[in-house]
Amino acid sequence: TQLLEQSPQFLSIQEGENLTVYCNSSSVFSSLQWYRQEPGEGPVLLVTVVTGGEVKKLKRLTFQFGDARKDSSLHITAAQPGDTGLYLCAGPSTGTASKLTFGTGTRLQVTL
């Protein structure tokens, strides 16, 4: 079973601060996805990283895939209240039907 552990579990910061969220596994993934979930809604895909060492930027969010494709990080610069939500990483399992395994999630709260 491929497991994804996220840290920290909770993060409460003030507007303007920087933060990094981590997603780690002992297994190699062909790709990793990052989702954001707002209260009362389903998760929505932010980005998919595919190549080891890859860095993708989405405005103030920077995603990195580890060289060995076992871990990923999400860095937010100058956090805003609109960044508040649950951040989930997910990776496909190997096999005929590639099921998505989700991480445990990081709940971020950004206050004024």
Among 43, 49, 63, 72, binds other proteins (CB under 8 A): 43
Q: Tell me if 90 contacts other proteins by CB under 8 A.
A: yes
CA nearest neighbour of 33 among 68, 75, 3, 74: 74
Write the DSSP assignment of 48-106 as a string of letters.
Answer: EE-STT-EEEETTEEEEE-TTSSEEEEEESS--GGG-EEEEEEEEPSSSS-PEEE---E
Q: Tell me if 44 contacts other proteins by CB under 8 A.
A: yes
Q: Tell me if 40 contacts other proteins by CB under 8 A.
A: yes
Nearer to other proteins, 18 or 51 (CB): 51
Residues making contact with other proteins (CB under 8 A):
4, 6, 9, 30-31, 33, 35, 40-45, 48, 88, 90, 92-93, 96-105
